[in-house]
Amino acid sequence: MDINRFERRDAFEWHIPPSGNMRVPAVIYADEALISAMDDKVYEQVTNVATLPGIVKASYAMPDAHWGYGFPIGGVAAFDANQGGVISAGGVGFDISCGVRTLLTGLTHAQLEGHESHLADVLYRHIPVGLGSKGEIALNPREMDAMLGGGARWAVAGGYGTPADLERIEEQGAMADARPDYVSERAKTRQKQEMGTLGSGNHYLEVQQVVEVFDAHVADVFGLHRGEVVVSIHCGSRGLGHQLGTEFLRDMAAAAPEQGIVLPDRELACVRIESELGKRYLGAMRAAINCAFANRQIITHLVREAFVRFFPEARLELLYDVSHNTCKREDHRVEGHMQSLFVHRKGATRAFGPGHADLPDTFSAIGQPVLIGGSMGTSSYILVGTSESEARAFSSACHGAGRAMSRHAARRRWRGRQLVDELAERHIQIRSPSSRGVAEEAPGAYKDVRAVVESAERAGLARRVARLEPIVCVKG
């Protein structure tokens, strides 16, 4: 994008003042190189979001922003239901509550040496991954509704993990006010055989090493130590979320004009939060969030089973589980007073700072972990939420690197088999059922995540705590 289209507030904050139908300004957090490299659709989409009814303060875009569906990916926008505010299925995304969780193994990289390839094989065989893979449990209708109401709590009650896991998940692992009865039969059918599956595309499971610590105190509280091994899981609500996204996008596109909402882009389909359809979407989306929680909880159990085969004493404690495609009702300070808002984070991660009531006791004094995935073969980062993040973007941060080129272009440039061999020479074990999928997920196809997290830190959104490098990567 041409930086002359923006008002530069400082090196990491760029404004688009309201014009036309915009009700609030648009604000992009990024350094000059990142914002210059963003596609022009980001400008169009972040300003379109600023036109929606009931939007509060600004329409935000994170340092990893890129072209999305209505909302930019990396978009954050909060709405006041009392001002006729809206909720948008496109502002949440197809993969509702796609997110990341990180497990602490307590093992050192040295302990893993010599086992990497075998561990990769075991993880690959043990966790269902890729198109056509099925989960080990198929839910009947009663179990499906229990899962959609109970999330990770349901999974723990079923023997997947421990109660201690729950306090390390947003919403303590179960989204309140979920309405399984608002989830369609088609969405439930699509999910029936997908519980505990990783999916494909940019979903992954990585065994990683902590290679750099930026904040020793916070890293210590998080349990991160240089040279130690962690495991990160990136996936979401699977077929159920995708089907709900499809259905509600369609319904909202039809309903918006009936509610007097002018859509600058059909993809920005939304409805009033207080409308019947708005309430239905909220209830269904909350159920889908629970589906993602349950899914990652089951996969966690499978990862623990795999590790125990090599290291019988390993416990794999959950550090934290974050989601980056949600709309949540949160209280935020706006112009000196607390306001209840519906905060959309589309490819953006919640980043509550120190003292927030929703944090587990262990993290209360320092803020929540913010887990930022890199791409296959590149660094990932763990950040911590900051006090100033609320004023910046309703306590939100980036979620990953974002793609630098299309899947099509990546396939033309790289061969999956060759990439696997090259990464093996760098001591990174890749396992995937799809050579073409590996090519599409080539490290070079993604932006530099280091620049994204540095911008996030300099913009006050979240602060770097540790950097991770991959050892094993299982991809769909």
Partner 1 sequence: MDARNWEHFEHEADIGLAATSDSRERLFEAMGAALSAVITDPAIVRPRQRVRIRCSAPDNALLMVDWINALIYEMATRGMIFGRFAVTIEDSRLSAKAWGEAVDVGRHHPAAEVKGATYTALRVSRQDDGEWLAQCVIDV
Do 431 and 121 form a contact (C-beta atoms < 8 A)?
A: yes
When the beta carbons of 69 and 320 are compared against partner 1, the nearer one is 69
Q: Enumerate the H helices of 171-237 as residue ranges.
A: 185-191, 216-222
- The C-alpha atoms of residue 145 and residue 161 are separated, in whole angstroms, by 20
Sole window of 77-85, 240-248, 324-332, 359-367 interacting with partner 1 (rule: CB under 8 A): 240-248
Structure tokens at 455: 């911008």
The residue (of 197 and 455) whose beta carbon lies closer to partner 1 is 197
Q: Answer yes or no whether residue 435 interacts with partner 1 by CB under 8 A.
A: yes
Which residue stretch of 247-255, 318-326, 423-431, 449-457 sits at the interface with partner 1 (rule: CB under 8 A)?
Answer: 247-255
Nearer residue to partner 1 within complex by CB, 126 or 186:
186
> Active site residue: 109, 225, 399, 408, which one?
399
Cα distance between residue 47 and residue 55, in whole Å: 12
Question: Do 394 and 343 contact (CB within 8 A), yes or no?
Answer: yes
Count other C-beta atoms under 10 Å from residue 365's C-beta. 12
Decide whether 328 or 403 has the Cβ nearer to partner 1.
403
The Cα 411–Cα 388 span in angstroms is 41
Q: How far apart are CA 14 and CA 193, in angstroms?
A: 45
Q: What's the CA angle centered on 171, arms 165 and 173, to 5 degrees? A: 35
Q: Is 115 in the active site?
A: no
Other beta carbons less than 10 A from residue 397's beta carbon? 35
Among 9, 125, 217, 250, binds partner 1 (CB under 8 A): 250
In whole angstroms, the minimum distance from the beta carbon of 411 to partner 1 comes to: 8
Site map 176..205 versus partner 1, x via CB under 8 A: ----------x--xx-xx-----xxx----
Q: Which of residues 392-421 bind partner 1 (CB under 8 A)?
A: 402-403, 405-409
- For partner 1, the closer CB: 265 or 317: 265
For 271, the token pair is 């409805």
Binding mask 264-303 for partner 1 (x = CB under 8 A): -xxx-x----------------------------------
Give 36 or 406: the residue with its C-beta nearer to partner 1: 406
Quick note: the x/- pattern for partner 1 over 56-85, rule CB under 8 A, is ----------xxxx---x------------
Q: Which range of residues in 47-55, 56-64, 245-253, 378-386 is near partner 1 by CB under 8 A?
A: 245-253
Provide, rounded to whole angstroms, the least separation between the CB of residue 408 and partner 1. 5
Closest CA to 60 of 301, 395, 471, 359: 395
Contact 228, 107 (CB under 8 A): yes
# residues contacting partner 1 (CB under 8 A): 46
What is the SS3 assignment for 6?
coil
3-class state of residue 295 by DSSP: helix
Long-range contacts of 310-313 (CB under 8 A, 24+ apart): 310/115, 310/118, 310/119, 310/122, 311/105, 311/107, 311/111
Closer residue to partner 1 in complex, CB, 73/291: 73
Distance CA 21, CA 474 (A): 46
Q: Which residues bind to partner 1, rule: CB under 8 A?
A: 39, 66-69, 73, 94-95, 130-132, 134, 186, 189-190, 192-193, 199-201, 239, 242-243, 245-246, 249-250, 253, 265-267, 269, 402-403, 405-409, 433-437, 440, 476
Residues annotated catalytic, as ranges = 399
